[in-house]
Amino acid sequence: MRQTWRWFGPVDKVTVADARQAGAEGIVTALHHVPTGVVWSVQDIKERQREVATHADGTPTGLAWEVVESLPVSEAIKTQSGDWRGDLERYAESLGNLAACGIHTVCYNFMPVLDWTRTDLAAPTQQGGRAMVFDLVDFAAFDMHILRRAGARADYPEAVIAAAADRFTRMGAARQQALAANVTAGLPGAAEHWSLEDVRARLADYRDIDAARLRERHVAFLKAMAPVAEDLGVRLCCHPDDPPWPLLGLPRVWSTADDVRHAFDAVPSPAVGLTLCTGSFGARADNDIVSMVREFGPRIHFVHLRNVTRAADTVPCSFVEDEHLAGQTDMVAVVDALLAEERRRATEGRADRQIPMRPDHGHDILDDVARGAQPGYPAIGRLKGLAELRGVMAALEARHAAA
Ligand code: CS2
Ligand code: MN
């Protein structure tokens, strides 16, 4: 697999030079400053390509922008409201501009309102570092007592409701504020500092949209984009819901193998694919990731390798982001299945034989805490994750070559 590294652009406290030292072969980035729904111009794309490819002194970094994460899908497209048809045209135009600049792998997600969601961004680990955590009781306390969403109780088991009420009363104002900040940190609108009032207003947009309707909308988006992507040689890949179950009463339609199968059957284009994120899918005990690799392999266009440890096998559940080779996902088995898929592609002579992967998240360890990078995206924690994964890939490839 192609070893890539996510970079958030010039604002990222972890530089492209750092990624190079970590052993990355390519860069994953986006035009994070362009608002959703606005066309990514060739000029802006080229500018970012230049920032990836050259150091400030003009010398080459040795790396290029290889994968887009993400080209965001507007709320208008997800709700089919407002100028959603115009947004589809603008999305297609951005894909065209990316292809014109030589970038052909484009990740997106289809989560209404939210993106990734955690309740703690810096929980202490046993080894002395810090990790991101989703605690169901904390999340329920946020939902029922801080956001005060109508009907929230219906989404939690009785034991969680009682524990959340108890925890909330003992929480104190500072902890309440911190919890709200953590839960909303992954919102796409985080940069715009959405208030709880803004979040409530966004939730209301989905009052009449259940999972079946959202699924239709995702398929409509894919049907519109598939011919465009095919013409351009672009591979779209949908990142799973994180965590993979409905949150705050919002439907989610990219959480399980059934979800993926449904859309892949409805839009049987190889340009319509999957970002296999083991950390996101792995938060559900009923997702068998190795069989997902076997079933969806030809349409896996991008891979995120991360591990989680769940507190229970229920859906939903609490979980912690574990080390890349610890946790409940058998990472060696997943990587083995992905390498087998690459060999299969080679026999077909596919140009996209090599699948781009990146270490998804890492613990804050050693000097990461002082550097204060984007939550989940420290330099050293990810370097460690990538190094471990590289070791797994090298060992499996050597074993296969010897067999
Ligand atoms: C990422 C997601 O940081 C993460 O957890 O995997 O934010 C991912 O970039 C988006 O969901 C993809 O659209
Ligand atoms: Mn991911």
pLDDT for residue 273: 98
For the chain, percent of residues with pLDDT exceeding 70: 99
2-402 has which fold? TIM Barrel (3.20.20)
Cα(397)–Cα(390) distance, integer angstroms: 10
To the nearest 10°, the Cα dihedral for 19, 20, 23, 26?
80
pLDDT for residue 324: 98
Which ligand neighbours the alpha carbon of 303 most closely?
A: 2
Q: How far is the CA of 115 from the centre of ligand 1 (A)?
A: 7
pLDDT for residue 192: 63
361 is catalytic: yes
pLDDT at 189 over 80: no
pLDDT for residue 186: 81
pLDDT at 193 over 90: no
For a mutational test of ligand 1's pocket, the pick from 7, 115, 361, 377, i.e. the residue with the most ligand atoms closer than 8 A to its C-beta, is: 115
- Position in ligand 1 atom list of the atom nearest CA 376: 3
Is the CB of residue 281 below 6 angstroms from any atom belonging to ligand 1?
no
156 is catalytic: no
pLDDT for residue 195: 82
**Do residues 261 and 297 touch, judged by C-beta distance below 8 A?**
no
239 is catalytic: yes
Is the CB of residue 108 below 6 angstroms from any atom belonging to ligand 1?
yes
Which residue in the list 239, 301, 324, 363 is annotated as catalytic? 239
Distance of CA 172 to the CA centre of its chain: 32
Is the CB of residue 284 below 6 angstroms from any atom belonging to ligand 1?
no
Band (191; pLDDT cuts 50, 70, 90):
low
277 is catalytic: yes
**57 or 165, which is more confident:** 165
Token pair 């591990």 in the structure block, residue: 307
Is the CB of residue 105 below 6 angstroms from any atom belonging to ligand 1?
no
Q: How many helices (H) and strands (E) does the chain have?
A: 15, 12
Q: What is the pLDDT of residues 199-244, one digit of tens each?
A: 899 999 999 999 999 999 999 999 999 999 999 999 999 999 999 9
Mean per-residue pLDDT of the chain: 96
**Do residues 371 and 14 touch, judged by C-beta distance below 8 A?**
yes
Is the CB of residue 69 below 6 angstroms from any atom belonging to ligand 1?
yes
Q: What is the pLDDT of residues 236-274, one digit of tens each?
A: 999 999 999 999 999 999 999 999 999 999 999 999 999
Residue 245 CB coordination number (10 Å): 14
Section 351-380 average pLDDT: 96
Cα(132)–Cα(120) distance, integer angstroms: 6
pLDDT for residue 257: 98
Which two three-digit tokens encode residue 73?
């899908």
Cα(225)–Cα(84) distance, integer angstroms: 13
Section 74-90 average pLDDT: 97
pLDDT at 62 over 90: yes
Q: What is the SS3 assignment for 112?
A: coil
Q: How far is the CA of 107 from the centre of ligand 1 (A)?
A: 9
Is the CB of residue 241 below 6 angstroms from any atom belonging to ligand 1?
no
User: What contacts 372, CB < 8 A, 6 or more positions away?
Assistant: 13
**pTM confidence score:** 0.97
pLDDT at 190 over 60: no
Cα(177)–Cα(125) distance, integer angstroms: 23
193 is catalytic: no
Q: What DSSP element (H or E) covers 344?
A: helix 331-348
Which two three-digit tokens encode residue 239?
């990142």
pLDDT for residue 92: 98
Which two three-digit tokens encode residue 62?
């040795």
pLDDT at 370 over 90: yes
